[in-house]
């Protein structure tokens, strides 16, 4: 189910055949809302402005984070051969002797973390706390952590295992974490700001071992500055998201008195029943 409100608007791709549209506007009092038209329009405009500012700072944060990562590749500090050997060792440890699970494995693409008005929030613990075997990847940004997880995902699917793939909230094209239910195994990227504390029995993979030390103070200073700018941009982005949330809450006060919440609750129960029916169909 997708909630469609500004700024995250998603158009249905296959309406009726696959996608179903639920319009809660069927349950509001139009005349009442029109009496607050001026205030609603002003709030909505301000919400849009604040989100645009937040997105600008998130884009800047991504640029500076890439500068942090480039430190290792740009200086030649990252040892690709050593990293490839580490990946192969891990593949052998996880998959050796395991029978193929199915011919057509599936990948579920999800998020375990989010950038919210209250700052970065992670629910990774609820996903991996009960996983039997966990590999915790440590190391600085730019030392191959996301690449390692991606390669393990590819190997798992090539060997017929379903996977749950958890993407980065700042860079959604990157994979932070991987769960292989058929092996009761998780690969967890311990990454700022969601540093993940290992427990007894966890296997620690430190990708900094694939880095040759760089002595130049110039390079270290550049990396430190980029990291500082990344954090400052993230702080500013979160501030604007928080302000946008406050403005959106203000706008909701103009809607609440004119909504038929009994009808909405009835629609919710009907929708839940529909979801459960669909779930049975796909078992």
Q: Is residue 23 part of a domain?
A: no
Q: Is residue 84 part of a domain?
A: yes
Q: Helices 37-74 and 217-255: crossing angle, nearest 10°?
A: 160
Per-position pLDDT tens, the chain of length 283: 455 455 556 677 777 667 778 888 888 888 888 888 999 999 999 999 999 999 999 999 999 999 999 988 888 889 999 999 999 999 999 999 999 999 999 999 999 999 999 999 999 999 999 999 999 999 999 999 999 999 999 999 999 999 999 999 999 999 999 999 999 999 999 988 888 889 899 999 999 999 887 766 778 889 999 999 999 999 999 999 999 999 999 999 998 888 889 988 999 999 899 888 887 876 6
85 and 204 in a single domain? The answer is yes
Q: Is residue 9 part of a domain?
A: no
96 and 123 in a single domain? The answer is yes
Q: What is the pLDDT of residue 235?
A: 97
Q: Is residue 110 part of a domain?
A: yes
Residue 13 is classified by DSSP as S
- Among residues 181, 209, 237, the one where a domain terminates is 209
222 and 197 in a single domain? The answer is no
205 and 225 in a single domain? The answer is no
130 and 104 in a single domain? The answer is yes
Residue 166 CA to residue 88 CA, distance in Å, equals 22
37 and 112 in a single domain? The answer is no
Long-range CB contacts (within 8 A, 24+) of 41-45: 43/247, 43/248, 43/250, 43/251, 43/254, 44/6, 44/251
Q: What is the pLDDT of residue 9?
A: 62
Query: In 3-state terms, what secondary structure has residue 104?
Result: coil
What is the pTM assigned to this prediction? 0.85
Distance of CA 195 to the CA centre of its chain: 15
Please name the residue that has the structure tokens 């011919």. Answer: 103
Domains: count for the chain:
2
Joined together, the tokens standing for residue 155 give 């190997």
102 and 175 in a single domain? The answer is yes
Q: What is the pLDDT of residue 7?
A: 58
Q: Is residue 7 part of a domain?
A: no
Omega before residue 193 within 30° of 0, cis:
yes
CA distance readout (Å), 62 to 176, 186, 211: 15, 26, 22
Instruction: Please report, to the nearest 10 degrees, the dihedral formed by the alpha carbons of residues 145, 151, 154, 157 taken in order.
Output: -70
Q: What is the pLDDT of residue 13?
A: 75
192 and 90 in a single domain? The answer is yes
Q: Is residue 112 part of a domain?
A: yes
Instruction: Find the domain containing 204 and state its range.
Output: 79-209
Q: Is residue 272 part of a domain?
A: yes
147 and 248 in a single domain? The answer is no
Please name the residue that has the structure tokens 């302000």. Answer: 243
196 and 251 in a single domain? The answer is no
198 and 226 in a single domain? The answer is no
- Among residues 186, 209, 232, the one where a domain terminates is 209
Q: What is the pLDDT of residue 88?
A: 96
Query: In 3-state terms, what secondary structure has residue 116?
Result: strand
- Among residues 162, 178, 209, the one where a domain terminates is 209
Q: Is residue 14 part of a domain?
A: no
44 and 122 in a single domain? The answer is no
């Amino acid at each position: 189910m997708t909630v469609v409100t500004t700024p995250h608007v998603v158009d249905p791709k296959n309406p009726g055949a696959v996608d179903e549209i639920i319009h809660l506007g069927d349950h509001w009092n139009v005349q009442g809302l029109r009496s607050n038209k001026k205030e609603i329009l002003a709030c909505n405009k301000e919400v849009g402005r604040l989100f645009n500012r937040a997105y600008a700072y998130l884009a800047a944060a991504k640029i500076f984070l890439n500068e942090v990562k480039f430190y290792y590749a740009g200086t030649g500090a990252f040892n690709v051969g050593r990293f490839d050997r580490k990946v192969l060792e891990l593949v052998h440890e996880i998959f050796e002797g395991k029978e193929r699970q199915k011919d057509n494995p599936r990948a579920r693409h999800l998020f375990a973390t989010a950038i919210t008005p209250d700052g970065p929030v992670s629910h990774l613990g609820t996903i991996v706390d009960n996983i039997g075997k966990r590999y915790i990847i440590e190391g600085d940004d730019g030392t191959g952590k996301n690449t390692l997880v991606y390669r393990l995902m590819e190997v798992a699917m090539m060997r017929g295992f379903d996977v749950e793939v958890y993407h980065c909230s700042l860079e959604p094209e990157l994979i932070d974490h991987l769960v292989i239910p058929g092996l009761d195994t998780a690969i967890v990227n311990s990454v700022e700001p969601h540093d993940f504390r290992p427990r007894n029995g966890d296997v620690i993979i430190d990708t900094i071992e694939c880095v040759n030390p760089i002595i130049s103070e110039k390079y270290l200073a550049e990396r430190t500055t980029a990291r500082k700018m990344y954090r400052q941009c993230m702080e500013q982005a979160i501030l604007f998201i928080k302000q946008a949330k406050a403005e959106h809450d203000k706008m909701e006060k103009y809607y609440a008195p004119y909504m038929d919440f009994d009808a909405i609750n009835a629609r919710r129960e009907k929708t839940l029943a529909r979801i459960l029916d669909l779930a049975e169909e796909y078992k």
